[in-house]
């Protein structure tokens, strides 16, 4: 596909250069919020807060009925139900798992801003100790999996990283 002008921009996605699916980028990048509507939909505020709507029809109907008093008001996280805060470990796990699926990888500067220098050092140490050099590309800005070799074994590499980074272990 690459010889035909397609870029391998995510583990399971190819596109013509400049034609990536922008919809999925919002989820994979992990710093921008999104709103989901309807049964089983989730929303993410971009500040570590997630709203999940009911998955079963009867529960969803009750959820909608409970919202009727808000008619004419702006729906916010403050008046939504089933709001929960992700733990720091959950947010880091999601950032790494989704970021490493992309050819652009994980932005190390954003990772340090959001989780601290100690977490960044822990991740870099784990990568250097456990991932073969030919499967990873890393500089002072990004951590990515090589294409195609690293991307072909991404699940194994990400699992190894998750096992070795203590900041990902929820107390």
Per-residue pLDDT band at 46 (split at 50, 70, 90): low
Burial (Cβ within 10 Å: 0-12, 13-18, ≥19) of residue 37: exposed
Q: Show Cβ contacts of residue 52 under 8 Å, excluding neighbours closer than 6 positions.
A: 40, 41, 42, 82, 84
**Helix H or strand E segment including 88:** helix 88-99
What pLDDT does residue 170 have?
63
Which among 97, 109, 88, 91 has a CA at the least distance from the CA of 161? Answer: 97
pLDDT in tens, 129-159: 999 999 999 999 999 999 999 999 999 998 9
Distance CA 88, CA 115 (A): 8
141 CB burial (10 A radius; 0-12, 13-18, 19+): exposed
> What average pLDDT does the segment 33-47 reach?
80
**The pair of three-digit structure tokens given for residue 159, joined into one six-digit string:** 């699992």
Query: What does pLDDT average to over the chain?
Result: 82
pLDDT at position 78 is 45
Size of the chain, expressed as the number of residues it contains: 171
């Amino acid at each position: 596909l690459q010889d035909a002008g397609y870029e391998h921009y995510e583990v399971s996605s190819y596109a013509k250069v400049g034609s990536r699916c922008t919809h999925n980028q919002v989820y994979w990048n992990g710093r921008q919020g999104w709103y989901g509507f309807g049964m089983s939909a989730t929303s993410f505020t971009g500040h570590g807060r997630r709203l999940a709507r009911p998955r079963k029809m009867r529960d969803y109907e009750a959820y909608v009925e409970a919202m009727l008093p808000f008619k004419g008001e702006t729906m916010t996280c403050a008046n939504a139900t089933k709001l929960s805060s992700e733990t720091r470990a959950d947010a880091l796990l999601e950032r790494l798992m989704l970021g490493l699926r992309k050819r652009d990888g994980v932005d190390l500067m954003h990772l340090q801003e959001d989780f601290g220098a100690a977490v960044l050092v822990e991740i870099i140490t784990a990568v250097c100790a456990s991932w073969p050099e030919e499967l990873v590309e890393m500089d002072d800005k990004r951590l990515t999996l090589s294409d195609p070799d690293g991307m072909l074994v991404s699940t194994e590499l990400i699992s190894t990283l998750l096992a070795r980074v203590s900041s990902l272990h929820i107390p």
